[in-house]
């Protein structure tokens, strides 16, 4: 389960995740500078931290600030909603959910039973797959809510944690955001591409919880 991640404002988009979209890169970097050093955590009822995601509501990429986790009936969901299992997503019935990518430079997990925290990173910007839905709080504020999609970790990371975010490579970002293909096919392709992308990620122990 991914319950915290980070975005270093000095990020390098070497693989062109955002495809030279300068305004979007500038907006993302400005946000990251204002939040430098802060770990991104799920949004709460009281602490309404909003995190950057990239969506494509009309086929054009857009940077927006979103609520991490789902709002149900005006309140944060009672069920786990900050992560979505890829296996569950691919068998979902009905229309395919709207999707996003979550820009990040690292995420954090605890290795058990050692209870040692690790930082997972590749040294550059990556895009975590997410699904979205609209939400509204009791005071009437509307938010885009997102959930990060998780897969089985590849062997190189599995000794530290058995689940990893799906990492969307640059040449699959548009497909992930806009495709009208069956969700099962889209998830299968995303998982296959992500498994390869995750081989460049390393897990390093850190002294304390981020």
C-alpha–C-alpha distance, residues 97 and 131, integer Å: 6
Sign for the CA dihedral angle at 205, 111, 208, 130 comes to positive
Q: Write b or e for each residue in 97-119: b if 16 or more Cβ atoms lie within 10 A of its Cβ, otherwise e.
A: bbbbbbbbbbbbbeeeeeeebbb
User: pLDDT digit string (tens) for 25-65?
Assistant: 999 999 999 988 789 999 987 778 999 999 998 888 999 99
pLDDT bucket at 181, cuts 50 / 70 / 90: confident
Identify the CA nearest to 158 among candidates 198, 102, 190.
198
Which pTM does this prediction carry? Answer: 0.95
pLDDT at residue 55, as a whole number = 97
pLDDT value at residue 78? 92
The per-residue pLDDT for 58 is 86
Q: Spell out the SS3 assignment of 12-49.
A: CCCCCCCCCCHHHHHHHHHHHHHCCCCCECCCCCCCCC
The pLDDT, as a whole number, for residue 93 is: 76
């Amino acid at each position: 389960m991914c319950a915290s991640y980070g975005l270093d404002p000095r990020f390098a988009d070497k693989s062109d995740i955002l495809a030279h979209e300068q305004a979007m890169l500038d907006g993302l970097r400005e946000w990251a500078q204002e939040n430098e050093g802060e770990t991104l955590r799920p949004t709460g009822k009281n602490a309404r931290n909003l995190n950057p995601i990239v969506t494509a509501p009309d086929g054009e990429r857009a940077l927006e600030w979103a609520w991490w986790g789902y709002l149900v009936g005006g309140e944060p969901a009672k069920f786990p909603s900050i992560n979505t299992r890829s296996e569950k997503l691919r068998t979902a019935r009905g229309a395919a959910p709207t999707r996003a990518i979550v820009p990040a430079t690292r995420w954090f997990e605890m290795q058990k039973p050692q209870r040692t925290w690790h930082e997972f990173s590749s040294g550059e910007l990556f895009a975590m797959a997410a699904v979205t839905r609209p939400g509204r709080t009791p005071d009437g504020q509307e938010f885009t809510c997102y959930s990060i999609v998780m897969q089985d970790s590849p062997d190189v990371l599995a000794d530290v944690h058995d689940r990893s975010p799906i990492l969307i490579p640059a040449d699959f970002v548009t497909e992930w955001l806009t495709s009208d293909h069956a969700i099962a096919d889209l998830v299968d392709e995303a998982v296959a591409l992500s498994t390869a992308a995750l081989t460049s990620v390393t897990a390093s122990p850190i002294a304390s919880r981020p």
